[in-house]
């Protein structure tokens, strides 16, 4: 059953696909930037947060191949 029949809207459907991808990319850039700042200014333990960059790259590729 589609979202239209259930009268439910997803976030992507609500704001549009291109806007959702833009927000995803911006969030990823900020996450990487803040992780790098924390890693170099405080402790190298913060580098563990860089796993998100790999996940974001994978998720972005999956979003782009869907029609």
- Expressed as residue numbers, the domain containing 64 is 25-67
pTM of this structure:
0.66
Q: Is residue 66 part of a domain?
A: yes
Ordered per-residue pLDDT tens for the chain, 67 residues:
555 565 555 666 777 777 778 888 899 899 889 999 999 999 898 889 889 888 888 888 887 776 5
pLDDT value for 23:
85
Measured CA distances, 40 to 12, 22, 37, 64 (Å)? 35, 27, 5, 33
Q: Is residue 3 part of a domain?
A: no
Q: Is residue 11 part of a domain?
A: no
Q: Is residue 46 part of a domain?
A: yes
- Number of domains, the chain: 1
CA dihedral of residues 54, 55, 57, 62 (deg, nearest 10)? 150
Q: Is residue 5 part of a domain?
A: no
- Counting beta carbons within 10 angstroms of the beta carbon of residue 37, is it exposed (0 to 12), middle (13 to 18) or buried (19 or more)? exposed
Measured CA distances, 4 to 9, 17, 20, 50, 66 (Å)? 7, 16, 19, 37, 19
């Amino acid at each position: 059953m589609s979202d239209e029949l259930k009268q439910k809207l997803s976030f992507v459907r609500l704001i549009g696909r291109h806007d959702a991808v833009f927000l995803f990319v911006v969030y990823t850039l900020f996450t990487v930037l803040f992780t790098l700042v924390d890693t170099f200014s405080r402790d190298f333990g913060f580098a563990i947060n860089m796993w998100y960059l790999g996940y974001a790259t994978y998720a972005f590729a999956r979003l782009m191949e869907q029609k």
